[in-house]
Structure 1
Amino acid sequence: MLAVLCADDRPPLMAAVEAAAEVRYADAAGLPAALRGADCLLVWDFLSRAVEPAFAAADRLGWLHIASTGVDNVLFPAMRQSDVLLTNSSGIFDGAIAEYVLGCVLAFAKDFRTTLTAQREKRWYHRETERIAGRRAVVVGTGPIGRAIARLLAAAGLQVTGVGRTARVADPDFVAVQASSDLHKCLGEADFVVAVAPLTDATAGMFDKAAFGAMKPTARFINVGRGGLVVTDDLVEALQGKVIAGAALDVFEIEPLPVRHPLWSLPNVLISPHMSGDFVGWLPALAELFVDNFGKWQAGMPLRNVVDKQLGYVPAR
């Protein structure tokens, strides 16, 4: 039996699953009842935190799949300590997020915001803009999304260094990979800093006052990872004080971003509502991955995207 945590928008392409198993669709309030007797749980509403308070009702659960790459909303202590297998949707969003990051780099370098403002004002405003070829980018997070970002930025002419758990000189996607313990040194060399690390105990709040202070005053910060990677008040202070030159933010500690938050009104900030990976067709792609994994689960085959619950992400092969 399968329980599905969703709101009004049920996942598509579930006919094959519904033909093979009993499926209970539930919102947050109904999840405890849906979990009783369930062997599997699909967390389609991946922003929900309803799994933790309902987890005690999971008397038969063997597998949980979440329709996102990040797993921090379902990796609470009881889940981490349990025997429940956890899988995520790694691989779906890599290319789309890489394109979003390249778009942000170009938007900053080519000053599109000023161009659009001048166009609205019907003002002919000639000026010079920046080249991105030869500039340096640091991508913090060397998983599949970070690697897709590195490949696309490198194709556009940037020199891309990665920051991960372990330093490596030879790497197929990065000029080099530096250890996270050397983060601040790496930040000082970057024109663009891209945060795409998973949110774990080790990465929470890693972009704080000290990290922003280590960056160049001309650097731009791009966060497509998790809002919790950033100490938001420190970021606001760094932007207001021109410690860094700008930020493109797709994720936030609190979502939606409150309407009175100072980030909305800062002239050097680009804000998008947690949508960097949401391309046309992303929902069917998420459903297809789950349906494929469900078939493997029924057949007793190894599943795709098994998360190491101690690390908090799918380990590199």
Structure 2
Amino acid sequence: MDPIERAAEVRYTRADGLADVLRGADALFVYDFLSTAVPGAWHAADRLRWVHIASAGVDPVMFPELRASDVVLTNSRGVFDGAIAEYVLGVILAFAKDFAGSLRLQQRGEWRHRETERAAGRRVLVVGTGPIGRSIARLLRAAGLDVTGAGRRAVADDPDFGTVHASAVLADHLGHFDYVVAVAPLTEQTKGMFDAAAFAAMKPQARFVNVGRGELVVTADLIEALRAGEIAGAALDVFDTEPLPPDNPLWTMDNVLVSPHMSGDVVGWRNTLVEVFTDNFTRWCEGQPLRNVVDKQLGYVPSGGNR
């Protein structure tokens, strides 16, 4: 933050003090991207012109007053793409090679020979065709997997996915894939999109991976689908309630991999988030176009790709 501190008055605060420091502020950097404090302090934003959030997802700040205002919203799109793609490839390999089963056997000192699966040639549906979804598609294709996308609009010749299906008819396509990866932005249209009907439409051998938002999934329906054998497993990095409650059944299911919302958090990521804001602050001061401007009606940064 040093370059910004030299150029502007910077006020640091925790959530409970946000309203006090927001008065008279021109810009707000929401560094705690999971915080829900901004709506409650919005009444104090008497001259605010720009909000930047240190995440790709913007749902914590997509409340009606901000949507209706002239305040520009930007995000940190691009920081997490490669790391999340590596996470997705990692969990697919973990399922195919049964690494979790090997670790359990190792901890018991049990030598049990098994056969595992090939990852190459498996069919993957990536639901969400923004930059993170595209990075996932490119890496999985390089590893030999057959990747298709699902986004806001259908496309027949997408450069990263080949075919993109329309999310509106997602259930018609879920049954054709071995892995379904959720990385869509959280909007009114995507909230709860993976429910009992969606899981019932998948193959019993399919695995579900969520690196998008926890609220994309109806958690109770996912648990029931796993228990009933409607799907073969899940790798979950995000949840509708975080931290995941200790009594949640997902913790103890052998066919579930749980990680604490960290798929994109690699060494140095916190500094990189500040660097993105610093770059945009320089652009803002110089009157240049800002990077990663969010369409507040869509809920994400529009681009040439489908969402």
TM-score, normalised with respect to structure 1 = 0.95
Deviation at 1:119, TM superposition (A): 1.2
Pair 1:117-2:77 in alignment: no
- 1:150 — aligned with what? 137
CA-based RMSD of the aligned residues comes to 0.6
Distance 1:186 1:56 in 2: 45
Question: CA deviation digits over 1:199-254, x for unaligned, max 9?
Answer: 00000000000000000000000000000000000000001111100000000000
Contact 1:208–1:235 (Cα < 8 Å) also in 2: yes
- Percent identity of equivalent pairs: 67
Matched, 1:69 2:36: no
Counterpart position of 2:192: 205
Q: Secondary structure at the match of 2:133?
A: helix
State whether structure 2 residue 290 is matched by structure 1 residue 303: yes
**TM superposition shift of 1:123:** 1.5
Distance in 2, matches of 1:274 and 1:83, equals 32
| Structure with the larger helix share | 2
Q: 2:180 aligns with which of 189, 193, 197?
A: 193
Tell me how far apart the structure 1 counterparts of residues 217 and 299 of structure 2 sit (CA, whole Å).
Answer: 18
* Helix, strand or coil at the partner of 2:57: coil
Residue in 1 that maps onto 2:234: 247
Partners of 1:257 and 1:120 in 2: how far apart? 25
List runs of 5+ in structure 2 lacking aligned partners. none
Match for residue 108 of structure 1? 95
Task: Select 1:79's aligned residue among 66, 70, 84.
Answer: 66
Report the TM-score when normalising by structure 2. Answer: 0.98
CA contact (8 A) 1:159 1:175 kept: no
Query: Residue type of the partner of 1:212?
Result: F
Query: Is 1:41 aligned to residue 28 of structure 2?
Result: yes
Offset of residue 117 of structure 1: 1.1
Q: Which residue of the partner structure matches residue 264 of structure 1?
A: 251
Q: Aligned residue for 1:97?
A: 84
CA distance in structure 2 between the partners assigned to 1:232 and 1:255 by the alignment: 12
Structure 1: gaps (5+ residues): 1-13
Deviations 1:62-91, CA, capped at 9 Å, x for gaps: 000000000000010101111000000000
Preserved contact between residue 308 and residue 315 of structure 1 (Cα < 8 Å) = yes
Number of matched pairs: 304
Distance 1:118 1:266 in 2: 16
Give, in whole Å, the separation in 1 of the partners of 2:242 and 2:107.
Answer: 30
Q: Is the 8 A contact 1:61 1:84 kept in 2?
A: yes
- Equivalent residue number for residue 280 of structure 1: 267
- Of 39, 43, 50, which aligns to 1:56? 43
Once the two structures are TM-superposed, the CA of residue 175 in structure 1 deviates from its matched residue by 2.4
